């Protein structure tokens, strides 16, 4: 039930929370908005908390759950995500459990035994389980005092990952109005935030929206030419570091994984077409650091909490900015410098659009009513993503503004291809644009980008000859330019909405009103040459903790020790300690267990369980 707390009492509770966080998790300071989110939870207020990936959302509901009386239930959409959180809590000395379809009867009975005995403060469940008839009544009988909705954007039709079963959560408010609900998400536009509040029936909620900027991430966008070679260039900038490579189709995953493996990369594929046992084994190898790279469809990652992913490569364009933000957000969750590279092509835009059109047509044929507004929104999200990829605006600024926030800085971000000066403006952009647009008109706006590029470069192809386009005044006007450069400029003109791509099977080009203005030199324009990504790691981050000076050899020894200890306990290595903790240890080099106190990420339980082993490893390194 919502309560009002006096300022002095609120201050005392916050101090108590800080002490608890230091003791259990080993964090001496809270991140922005964590204190406010925790205060809302302790006071029993409804809340919607929107924090970027890696900003510490989980702690906002985990810590208050240990202080409040009763049971805190966390609804989470993926079993792997719940398993990760529970493993981390248990290693930190917190009793937590889950109820899911992945458990057998014995495991479920043990959880119910803990619930009946009042031994649990945190219970994780899937929305499907929560919606089971009678289950909500059981939770109330076990002392349900707070409901936490993780990945809350899934409840919104406006969201990019809508889950219909999330709508059942609103029944809690109707049947048990006194139980507070706290919703958490990393990706929510203003429209999605308003819809989440409405669908959950939140009452006078505390609304906390953190910055959507991820300063430790460096963004680069490259036209795709050779996906395997371009991906290898990224991997070689991050030797022995973890990375995720996303592909559009399962066949692309298998092919790219084979090519990378042949080049010596320790990697495995992951997609829904693999057998469940194979998929799980490959994921476990990635989490256990037995391989560095996972090549996957977007089915991978939502439930993965590995904080030391140092790079994410999109081998094809995702279908929206929200998806891009969520998928790149899996890099650098520990706050350390990480790189995000997207390889895009006009074929991605057309492929996604065809997929959407086919999906809607199949649904209509099956008698399923398609919301025309949702179809329109899907296409708008796709167009926006394509425009983002082909434009030359600061990547950090674009993402922040997309999620409804102002970009305050007047300085270059220093962490994207645009602000690092990796994009070179074409010296004669206006003339190049005029030649391309004129060629589209001369070809009667009935041909696609490949044919237009062939005409402009003066190619002697059968199609050009058949159409009689060798006689056009625009034939061969760009014979001194590389075909990929011409295609790159065409894609920029589409992204800038000076050219329109026709819907349907054949993606023909036509001019928009602004395209006519550009062709007649009434509209200024800048086109950029094909970018070349750097060979060395540079400009990857504006983030904190990336400049820590530490002993690299000792850091690698501590990583090896972490892997051994994790294997013994059957948990991923990052559950033991994150990279930031190991870097601080490799910098401070404490030679007794007491010297570990104050190192970020070392709470009392981990100090007791792992302290002696890490001190011994540091001492052995010092002797060498």
Q: Which domains does the chain carry? A: 7-209 (3.40.50.300), 217-402 (3.40.50.300), 429-519 (1.10.10.10), 552-623 (1.10.150.80)
Rounded Cα–Cα distance for residues 283 and 274 (Å): 12
Query: How far is CA 542 from each of CA 217, 246, 420, 535, rounded to the nearest angstrom?
Result: 8, 24, 12, 19
Rounded Cα–Cα distance for residues 38 and 51 (Å): 13
User: Does 436 have pLDDT greater than 80?
Assistant: yes
Rounded Cα–Cα distance for residues 85 and 214 (Å): 22
pLDDT confidence of residue 1: 43
pLDDT confidence of residue 80: 77
Indicate the range of 79-93, 156-170, 214-228 predicted with least confidence.
Answer: 156-170
Highest mean pLDDT among 68-82, 266-280, 521-535: 266-280
User: Which tops the pLDDT comparison, 156 or 572?
Assistant: 572
Query: How far is CA 523 from each of CA 388, 434, 526, rounded to the nearest angstrom?
Result: 20, 11, 10
Q: How many helices (H) and strands (E) does the chain have?
A: 25, 15
pLDDT confidence of residue 130: 81
pLDDT in tens, 541-598: 544 444 678 999 999 999 999 999 999 999 999 999 999 999 999 999 999 999 999 8
User: Does 19 have pLDDT greater than 60?
Assistant: yes
pLDDT confidence of residue 7: 62
46 phi/psi in degrees, rounded to 5: -70, 150
> For the chain, what is the mean pLDDT?
89
pLDDT confidence of residue 280: 87
Banded pLDDT at 164 (limits 50, 70, 90): low
Tokens of residue 117, six digits: 């005995």
pLDDT confidence of residue 506: 79
pLDDT in tens, 476-491: 999 999 999 999 999 9
pLDDT confidence of residue 37: 95
User: Does 215 have pLDDT greater than 80?
Assistant: yes
Rounded Cα–Cα distance for residues 302 and 354 (Å): 25
Q: Which residues pair with 371 in a beta bridge?
A: none
Distance of CA 522 to the CA centre of its chain: 40
pLDDT confidence of residue 120: 92
pLDDT confidence of residue 2: 45
User: Which tops the pLDDT comparison, 127 or 185?
Assistant: 185
pTM to 2 decimal places: 0.85
Mean pLDDT across the stretch 126-151? 87
pLDDT in tens, 43-56: 999 999 999 887 88
Banded pLDDT at 536 (limits 50, 70, 90): low
Characterize the bridge pairing of strands 181-185 and 47-50.
Answer: parallel
């Amino acid at each position: 039930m919502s309560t009002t707390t006096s300022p002095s009492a609120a201050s005392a509770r916050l101090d108590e929370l800080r002490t608890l966080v230091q003791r259990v998790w080993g964090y001496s300071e809270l991140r922005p908005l964590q204190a406010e989110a925790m205060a809302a939870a302790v006071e029993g207020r409804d809340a919607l908390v929107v924090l970027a990936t890696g900003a510490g959302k989980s702690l906002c509901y985990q810590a208050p759950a240990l202080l409040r009386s009763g049971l805190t239930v966390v609804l989470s959409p993926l079993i792997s995500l719940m398993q990760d959180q529970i493993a981390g809590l248990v290693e930190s000395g917190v009793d937590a459990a889950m109820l899911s379809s992945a458990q057998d009867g014995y495991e479920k009975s043990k959880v119910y035994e803990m619930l009946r005995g009042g031994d649990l403060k945190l219970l994780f469940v899937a929305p499907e389980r929560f919606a089971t008839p009678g289950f909500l009544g059981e939770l109330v009988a076990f002392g349900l005092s707070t409901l936490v909705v993780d990945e809350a954007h899934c409840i919104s039709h406006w969201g990019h990952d809508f889950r219909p079963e999330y709508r059942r959560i609103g029944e809690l408010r109707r049947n048990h109005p006194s139980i507070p609900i706290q919703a958490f998400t990393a990706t929510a536009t203003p429209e999605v935030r308003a819809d989440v509040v409405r669908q959950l029936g939140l009452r006078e909620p505390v609304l906390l929206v953190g910055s959507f900027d991820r300063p430790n991430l460096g963004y680069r966008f490259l036209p795709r030419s050779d996906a395997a070679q371009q991906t290898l260039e990224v991997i070689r900038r991050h030797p022995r570091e973890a990375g995720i490579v996303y592909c559009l189709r399962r066949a692309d995953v298998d092919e790219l994984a084979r090519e990378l493996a042949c080049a010596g990369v320790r990697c495995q594929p992951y997609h829904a077409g693999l057998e469940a046992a194979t998929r799980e084994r490959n994921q476990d190898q990635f989490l256990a650091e037995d391989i560095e790279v996972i090549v996957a469809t977007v089915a991978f990652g939502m439930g993965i909490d590995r904080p030391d992913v140092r790079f994410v490569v999109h081998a094809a364009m995702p279908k929206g900015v929200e998806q891009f933000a969520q998928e790149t957000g899996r890099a650098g969750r520990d706050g350390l410098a990480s790189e995000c590279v997207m390889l895009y092509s006009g074929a991605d835009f057309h492929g996604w659009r065809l997929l959407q059109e086919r999906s809607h047509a199949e649904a209509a044929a099956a008698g399923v009513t398609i919301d025309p507004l949702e179809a329109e929104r899907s296409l708008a999200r796709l167009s926006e993503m394509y425009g983002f990829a082909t434009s030359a605006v600061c990547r950090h600024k674009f993402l922040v503004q997309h999620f409804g926030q102002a970009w305050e800085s007047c300085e270059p971000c220093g962490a994207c291809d645009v602000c690092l000066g990796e994009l070179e403006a074409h010296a004669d952009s206006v003339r190049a644009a005029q030649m391309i647009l004129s060629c589209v008109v001369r070809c009667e706006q009935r041909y696609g980008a490949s044919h237009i590029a062939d005409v402009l470069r003066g190619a002697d192809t059968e199609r050009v000859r058949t159409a009689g386009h060798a006689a056009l005044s625009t034939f061969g006007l760009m014979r001194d330019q590389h075909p990929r450069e011409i295609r790159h400029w065409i894609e920029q003109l589409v992204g800038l909405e000076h050219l329109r791509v026709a819907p349907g099977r054949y993606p023909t080009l036509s001019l928009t009103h602004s395209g006519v203005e550009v062709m007649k030199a009434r509209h200024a324009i800048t086109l950029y040459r094909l970018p070349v990504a750097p060979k060395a790691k540079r400009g990857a981050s504006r983030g904190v903790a990336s400049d820590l000076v530490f002993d690299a050899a000792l850091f690698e020894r501590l990583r090896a020790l972490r892997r051994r200890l994790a294997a013994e306990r059957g948990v991923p290595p990052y559950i033991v300690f994150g990279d930031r903790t190991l870097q601080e240890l490799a910098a401070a080099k404490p030679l007794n267990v007491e010297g570990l106190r104050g190192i970020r990420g070392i709470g009392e339980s981990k100090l007791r369980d792992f302290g002696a082993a890490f001190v011994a490893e540091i001492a052995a390194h010092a002797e060498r």
